[in-house]
Structure 1
Amino acid sequence: MPVTAVRRRQVFDLPDPAPIEVTEYAAEVKPCPGCDIKAAGVFPAGVESPAQYGPEVTAKVADAVLGHHIPVHRATLLVMELCAVYLSAGFAASLRGRAARLLEESFLPAVRALFVTAPVVHADETFTRTAGATRYLHVAATERLSLRHAGDCSAATIDTGQVLPHLSGVLVRDGSPDTPTWTTFCTPDAAPTCCATCAATTRRIPRASCGPVPWPTHCWEPTASRPPPAKRAVTR
């Protein structure tokens, strides 16, 4: 009997997790026949412990803990179930510090370089809990970038973000009289940056309550009826 039609159905599934691979590195130790001083071989870069997890396991755990903000214990169980590998919660917890150091060394310099050339940068601060204490969380942001660091409200601490003192565009800030340290970014010694007051702040805080505008004459003054175009673009 001839076939008149073919109907197909597809089922997508995953195979069973592959068994974990163990790679052993051996560094030979050889004595000098003349002086008996021993010379040892060098292990490959990244192989630093007698037993450790490799880059693939590390990446999956880091993705669960840091990329998806899953609590450490739950992230450990999740990766164990999906990858059929035994993990310790202590290893998962240690990845936060390792990731922070790697970001500081390689990723953050590139982000700061993008901020320096941005035409408009918004800066603000809020409160956060860090190391058991309430600290200021300083934020620099554009339409596509954000960079945050914690500390006090001093100008030196704000400078540790390594963004605002080097700007060449427009700095948009809330203009609050409680943060006089913003004036350090519009001084003749700083980069040629203009300051603009956030339009939301302009509408929220009456001009009389702010007092005199402490920024130089080249900066934009807050005007409730007509905020500058850059303000509208940043706050819409």
Structure 2
Amino acid sequence: MRPHGHERRTRIDIVFEKVVTHVDAEIKSCPHCESKTRGAFPKAFAGPVQYGAGIKAYVLNLVIAQMVSLKRAQQSLQSLIGLMLSEATILKYVMQLHQALARWEQGAIARLLTLPALHVDETSLRVDKRNHWIHVCSGGDVTLKFVHEKRGLEATLSAAWLMTAIGIIPRYGGVLIHDCWASYLSYDHCSHGLCGAHLLRELAFIHK
């Protein structure tokens, strides 16, 4: 009998599995001088024991993305692999991530400078119970955010200094898309365009 159709049921799960990999290097003695020579280990095996990329990614996700304390990140990982990472090791991973992102950031800035249009904006953010501002530069699939503590009248010079320090807008020669803020309009070496979303928001306000 041919079926009339089918019904599917799905289960999604996460499998936490500790994977241990060993690499052995042969040690041989010279038959003439009796000196011992050891085979070379792969670059990823620099010491007697090291942690893999999965552990690094998991710890960084806890500490950076989820903002979990170092102690709780240590406890979480210990419950998974039975080993306790030191705080120094976790902080080393954070520094390695910082250095890798710094290299990526320079490449992202270089890419933004080549785009025909660059979108810029700023929005507020609480940092240590104080109001700060995130300055955003976006184009294509690249978005960069930079935090500064000031905005407004006093920040007209401050924001211009920040934009100069960031080093994107002063070197950009395409069309700068923004919300008509004076600090953006102060740059006359590039073309300017007004953000359609901001215009629609203002028109909606006037209509009400």
Instruction: Confirm or deny that 1:160 pairs with 2:165.
Output: yes
Match of 2:185 among 169, 183, 192: 183
CA distance in 1, matches of 2:130, 2:67: 23
| Cα pair 2:163 2:170 within 8 Å, conserved | no
CA distance in 1, matches of 2:192, 2:108: 21
Cα deviation, residue 117, structure 1: 0.9
- 2:74 is matched with 76
- 2:83 is matched with 85
- 1:110 is matched with 107
TM-score by length of 2: 0.60
Q: How does 1:15-94 map to 2 (within 5 A)?
A: 17-18=18-19, 54=51, 56=53, 57-66=55-64, 68-69=65-66, 71-72=68-69, 73-88=71-86, 91-92=89-90
CA distance in 2, matches of 1:158, 1:13: 44
CA distance in 2, matches of 1:183, 1:198: 13
Deviations 1:26-64 (A, max 9, x none): xxxxxxxxxxxxxxxxxxx9xxxxx99656444442244
Instruction: Confirm or deny that 1:133 pairs with 2:130.
Output: yes
The number of residue pairs the alignment matches comes to: 163
Deviations 1:200-220 (A, max 9, x none): 2223336xx9xxxxxxxxxxx
* Pair 1:83–1:138, CA change in 2 (3 A): same
* Percent identity of equivalent pairs: 19
CA distance in 1, matches of 2:167, 2:49: 35
**Aligned residues: CA RMSD:** 3.9
CA distance in 2, matches of 1:84, 1:194: 58
User: Which residue identity lines up with residue 123 of structure 1 in the other structure?
Assistant: V
CA distance in 2, matches of 1:20, 1:129: 44
Instruction: Confirm or deny that 1:147 pairs with 2:144.
Output: yes
* Pair 1:87–1:129, CA change in 2 (3 A): same
User: Which residue identity lines up with residue 85 of structure 2 in the other structure?
Assistant: L
TM-score by length of 1: 0.54
Q: Unpaired segments of 5 or more residues in structure 2?
A: 1-12, 23-42
Q: Unpaired segments of 5 or more residues in structure 1?
A: 1-11, 22-44, 46-50, 210-236
* Pair 1:88–1:20, CA change in 2 (3 A): farther
| Cα pair 1:20 1:85 within 8 Å, conserved | no
* Pair 1:205–1:60, CA change in 2 (3 A): closer
Extract structure 1 runs of 4+ deviating beyond 6 A: 12-15
